[in-house]
Every structure is written in structure tokens, then in C-alpha cells.
Amino acid sequence: MIFMRLCVFREEYRTGAFSMNKKENTMKRTKTKFTAAVTAVLMLLGAGCSNGASGSTATTTAAEITTTTTTAAETTTTAAETTTTAAETTTAAETTAETAADTGAAAEQVKVAALKGPTAMGMIKFMDDSDSSADSSYEFSIYAAPDELTPLIIQGNVDLACIPANLASVLYNKTEGAVEVLAVNTLGVLYIVENGTDEIKSFDDLKGKTIYASGQGSTPEYALNYLLEQNGIRDDVTIEWKSEHAECVTAISENGGIAMLPQPFVTTAMAKNEGLHVSLDLTEEWNRLDNGSTLITGVVVGRKEFIDAYPASVADFLTNYEASVEYVHSDNDGAAALIGKYEIVPEAVAKKALPACNITFISGEEMKTKLSGYLEVLFGSEAKSVGGKLPADDFYYIG
């Protein structure tokens, strides 16, 4: 009987009847059964069992039970070690990032995104040089609208991005400080255009007029409203919002009129309509207010996690970006050819539009001064335009 019980006990261990997922209860039952089995064997041996074969079998079984118990303990240890390994795996990326930051190592891959238009034009030489290099760590992507790019930044699928200035502030607030601004890359690109007339010489001349515009809920709306308010004619101007720039051009092409359009679309529209011309540059009108701020269209942002982990990569990116902007300013035709190559806008349009796109590179304290002033103006006019509140100092990457 004892021998049979020992065999059953051994089989329970072998088949896994003692679940390791219920470790505490399992070990208690194991200890109790083991003690009872060994005690029975000793009693049998002490009684002088004359059956040598049976005694040998019982002794061997007891040894096997001891081995099985040890194996169970080792399995428990292995489970604990597995849990530890999983925890270590979870923090592996963080450890790698911390090590990179400590050693100044560069990221193996840097994902950069931009929007079609001026925010991408400034880094066009950087993009082309990177694509021509066999060992470049940069991966560039161009998107048509901010709505496509925003979730990629939030989800961490993009490391660095060129986006509208106010959107950067919105993302900072939405992610609770997980986004930083590295540089201003585009100043104002908005213009008031007329078709068939030449009446608008100043903002005062807009009084009583209707302006066709697109970009409601973003920089165009906030900038136009602010300028109208500062010139005291906000209630005297009608703004008819359209979903696309082309709709604005269509509206004023049929019967004449006034529209607010961004570059390079202004150049595209003027090429198709000889009667269309620029009446006001909103950047110049903003500067006339002399309020300490600058009209800003686009900025370069980065995920704070990436910036902190790979400062060497950030520094390299900014150096290359600044050099690319300098190239765009110094070689209009060469830059236009590259802009056409990457299908941001046609080369012919880029040649004419580049000088009016206000592409720039402003970083450090100057960036902070200009951008914070601009965001303060937007906040005072419409708090939601910057995400409900102004960003803190850690929003601005000084380097």
C-alpha cells in the first residue's frame, strides 16, 4: 500500500497535478505528502522488512520523491526568474535610451515627418543628401495634412516633425509635456489677394468687405481674427470659410473679390488667373503692430523622450537642417528642383514661391522669445488655439 501510494505521489509530480500557478498551496501539500511518505518508508525499514526487493524499491522511490521535490522548487525558481526576465525586457528600451544619453550615442534610426508646403521646403536639401547617403540614419516622410501627422507624434511613431506652431502647443498640452520645440522653420505665409480690383492697400480698406478663406480652427483663422481686431474692424468684415484653398480661388475668380491664401498656393493660383494679385502680406501687417511677437507658421518639434535619449542625434539634425535652409536661400533654382523632385509643389511654382515662403531657421533663446510671444497673442485671442493654456519653459528646447 505504501509503495503504491508513493508511486501515485510520484505520478502526481510527473503529470503536473500540483499546479505551479498556485505556488503557496502546492508547496504546503507537497511538504505534507512528502513527510508522510518518508515517515512510512522509515517505519517499514525499521520494522525489518525481509523483502529485499521491496525495500530497495521503496528506498529508490523515496530518493526519486526527494529529487522530484527539488525539481518542483527549481521550477518555482525558474518561474520567478522568468517573471524577472519579463520585467527586464520591459525596461530594455529605457535602459538603451539612458545608455545612449549617457554615452552620447546616436539613434540607429531617426524618423522625421513634415507637411507638404513651406514647412517641408526648408529641409529639402537635408532630405536629398540623406537619401543619397548609404549609411544615413534618417527616414523622411511627407504628409498632406496635420490630421495625418498628429497621431503619429502622439503614438511615438515619429521622432521629429515639422508642424504648425500652434499645433505644437496643443500637442504639448495634450501629451502633458511630451513634446518640445527645437526651432522655428517658417514665418508667416498668409496673404490677402484680390481678383479684378486693386482696392486693398491697408487693413482699413477691408472694412465692409467679404474675405474668402480656408483653415478655420487653425493658424489662418487665429491670425486673421487677431489682425482684424487690432485694426478695429473685426465686426465690419465678413469671413466666408471654405474647406480648401482652391474653393477660395474659385469664389473670387467668378465675380471678383478678396481671399486670404497661403504660399505657395498664392503662386499656383496667380499662374492660372492673370487678374489675381497680392494686396497685403499678413506678416508685414503683424510686424506693424510692434507687439514684440512675430507671426509664425511652422516649427520643428521632437518627442521629449527621444530628445533626452539621443542629444547627439538632435544636435546633428539641427545642424543639417540649418545648413539645408541656408542652401534654399542661396540656390533658389536648385532648391526648386529638389522641391519638385519630392513632389511638394511643382518646380516652376517653387521657383516663384520660395522668396515669399519666409523659410527660416531660428533656435535657442531667440526661438523661445519669438514663439512664446506669438503663442501669448494667440492665447489672448483664443485660448483653445494653443491647447487651453500656454506651455511651460520646458516646451522650448534651448540645447
- Indicate the domain borders of the chain: 2-90, 98-188+295-395, 190-288
**Model pLDDT, residue 262:** 95
Beta strands in 17-145 (DSSP E): 110-115, 138-143
- pLDDT per residue over 275-292, tens digit each? 899 999 999 999 999 888
**Model pLDDT, residue 370:** 94
Cα 273 to Cα 264: distance, rounded to the nearest angstrom = 15
Cα 299 to Cα 315: distance, rounded to the nearest angstrom = 16
Task: Decide whether 98-188+295-395 matches 190-288 in CATH topology.
Answer: yes
Burial class (CB in 10 A: 0-12, 13-18, 19+), 284: exposed
Q: Which of 357, 352, 318 is nearest to 117 (CA)?
A: 357
Cα 167 to Cα 300: distance, rounded to the nearest angstrom = 11
At the topology level of CATH, where does 190-288 sit? D-Maltodextrin-Binding Protein; domain 2 (3.40.190)
Q: State the pairing for strand pair 210-214/160-164.
A: unpaired
**Model pLDDT, residue 52:** 42
**Torsion over CA: 392, 393, 398, 399 (sign):** negative
Q: State the pairing for strand pair 257-262/190-195.
A: antiparallel
Q: If you search the block for the grid coordinates 526576465, which residue do you land on? A: 85
Cα 216 to Cα 226: distance, rounded to the nearest angstrom = 13
C-alpha cell at 98: 539612458
**Model pLDDT, residue 103:** 54
CATH assignment, 98-188+295-395: 3.40.190.10
Torsion from C-alpha of 161, 366, 176, 379, nearest 10 degrees: -110
- pLDDT per residue over 333-392, tens digit each? 999 999 999 999 999 999 999 999 999 999 999 999 999 999 999 999 889 999 999 999
**Partners of residue 113 on adjacent β-strands:** 141, 161
105 confidence band (pLDDT: 50, 70, 90): confident
316 confidence band (pLDDT: 50, 70, 90): very high
Given a cut of 50, whether residue 11 has pLDDT beyond it is no
φ, ψ (nearest 5 deg) of residue 254: -75, -50
What does DSSP assign to residue 396? B
Question: Using an 8 Å Cβ cutoff, are 393 and 360 in contact?
Answer: no
**Model pLDDT, residue 237:** 97
Question: Using an 8 Å Cβ cutoff, are 361 and 209 in contact?
Answer: no
99 confidence band (pLDDT: 50, 70, 90): low
C-alpha cell at 119: 514647412
- pLDDT per residue over 68-93, tens digit each? 444 444 444 444 444 444 444 444 44
- pLDDT per residue over 238-289, tens digit each? 999 999 999 999 999 877 899 999 999 999 999 989 889 999 999 999 999 9
